[in-house]
A and B are shown apart, each in its own frame.
Chain A
């Protein structure tokens, strides 16, 4: 660094206040207030553009208590009443992870109380008769895969129980780009072209991802500025090593080629559109055990649980 380099205190391109964030894609500096307004605007735009909400909806918001879902709930509770006559109910799934879930569930409880939003908590124990911890002791499964399958089922069951018309989850732009890359690296063509958002089978509750245009850094900043979540523990099972590696790679690509993550997702979306025209949809069947739509005789969750019971 040459001596005498000038000090730089960037200011917000909208109002001139001190900037806290530089958006490399848009080449814009934002202050605290305009970062928050911009994020809320993009969520509203996503909800409108993709017709994610209609009047009379009952939206089940998956609330783990982590930063993504907590920011999602806070933003939805702000923007939904401004534009729609729809209800919001937070749903938390307690997977049963000792030493980790207690604190994050407490954080979810405080948030819903603070926002005045009804909160429904379900557990793996009550739904499936086992906690994730005991399931993983008896069966050396990949933690995140098993947890993901069962959590999705738990959220669907809970949403059905409270008569929700849609399920909103906190998936962000980085998650989506990483998932596309992971499917490419695995060569998982089927999963790459699976488009759950358009499925309208009997018993299937629509899933929406209102944060899909917002990246992880902006969500973290929003959460810090608004004081939504404090420092929370990370899941002891963490994410799989593979996702962690892909995340590092995706972040490096995004840093050197701003906007690359968005382009990965947009490209994937047009691929899905093209595929819909040429690939005949696979036959949809319904799980013999629980009745959920699935692609085989039983759904993934029931298959997983049945396998466990057989071996016990």
Chain B
């Protein structure tokens, strides 16, 4: 799996099934402060990712 963080960093996170919440807290990210897509589709934090999924993390924009 390919994980892209809000700062553009890309990590390889293996193929094992894991929840989005576990993935985020493992990167010290509060799930409330980000939005996550799996292969381009929005997913909640208790959804799982695995295999060749492309996971992207976006910061919740502040203000305005």
Closest to B51 in A: A7
In the complex, A207 has a CB within 8 A of chain B: no
Least CB distance from A232 to B in Å reads 7
Are B42 and A20 neighbours in the complex by a CB distance under 8 Å? Answer: yes
Instruction: Please tell me the size bucket of the interface on A.
Output: 35 or more
A29 touches B63 (CB 8 A): no
**Contacts A20-B43, A217-B35 given; does A68 touch B48 at CB 8 Å:** no
Q: Residue among A104, A217, A221, A225 with the most chain B CB within 10 A?
A: A217
CA distance A224 to B35 in the complex (A): 10
A57 on interface, CB distance cutoff 8 Å = no
| Max count, chain A CB within 10 A of own CB: residue among B31, B32, B50 | B32
B7 interfacial by beta-carbon distance below 8 Å = no
Contact of A21 with B60 at beta-carbon distance under 8 Å, contacts A5-B17, A254-B32, A255-B32 already known: no
Contact of A170 among B16, B30, B64 (CB under 8 A): B64
Q: Return chain B residues, CB-CB under 8 Å to A217.
A: 32-33, 35, 60
Tell me which residues from 1 to 53 in chain A have a Cβ below 8 Å from any Cβ of chain B.
Answer: 1, 3-10, 18-22, 29, 32
Residues of chain B contacted by A6 (CB below 8 angstroms): 17, 48
B41 and A64 form a contact (CB under 8 A): no
Cβ of A302 to closest chain B Cβ, rounded Å: 26
Produce 1/0 per residue, A189-222, CB < 8 A to B.
0000000000000000000000000011100110
Write the A228-259 contact mask toward B (1 if CB under 8 angstroms, else 0): 00001011000100000001100110110000
- Would A216 and B47 count as touching, CB distance under 8 A? no
B33: chain A residues at CB < 8 Å are 217, 248, 251
For A66, give its contact among B32, B35, B63 (CB under 8 Å): B63
A112 at the interface (CB under 8 A from B): no
Q: Does B54 contact A (CB under 8 A)?
A: no
Closest to B16 in A: A1
Q: Are B44 and A21 in contact (CB under 8 A)?
A: yes
Q: How many chain B residues have a CB neighbour from A under 8 Å?
A: 24
Indicate if the CB atoms of B32 and A251 lie closer than 8 Å: yes
Q: Which residues of B contact A69 (CB under 8 A)?
A: 64
Task: Pick the contact of A7: B45, B48, B60 (CB < 8 A).
Answer: B48
| Nearest CB of chain A from residue B14's CB, rounded to whole Å | 9
Pair count A-B, CB < 8 A = 89
Query: How many angstroms between the C-alpha atoms of A25 and B55 in the bound complex?
Result: 25
Asked whether A166 is an interface residue with its Cβ less than 8 Å from the other chain, the reply is no
Choose one: B31, B41, B62; the contact of A247 (CB below 8 Å): B62
The reply to whether A3 and B16 form a contact with Cβ atoms under 8 Å apart is yes
Chain A residues, Cβ within 8 Å of B44: 10, 19-22, 29
Q: Which residue of B lies closest to A252 (CB)?
A: B30
A221 and B62 within 8 A (CB)? no
- In the complex the two chains form, what is the Cα distance from A170 to B32 in whole Å? 19
| 30 A-B contacts (beta carbon < 8 Å) | A4-B17, A5-B17, A5-B18, A6-B48, A7-B48, A8-B47, A8-B48, A9-B47, A10-B44, A19-B43, A20-B42, A21-B44, A22-B46, A32-B42, A66-B61, A66-B63, A66-B64, A68-B63, A68-B64, A217-B35, A220-B35, A220-B60, A220-B61, A224-B42, A225-B42, A234-B63, A235-B63, A251-B32, A251-B33, A255-B31
Residue positions of A touching B, CB distance < 8 A: 1, 3-10, 18-22, 29, 32, 64-70, 104, 170, 215-217, 220-221, 224-225, 232, 234-235, 239, 247-248, 251-252, 254-255
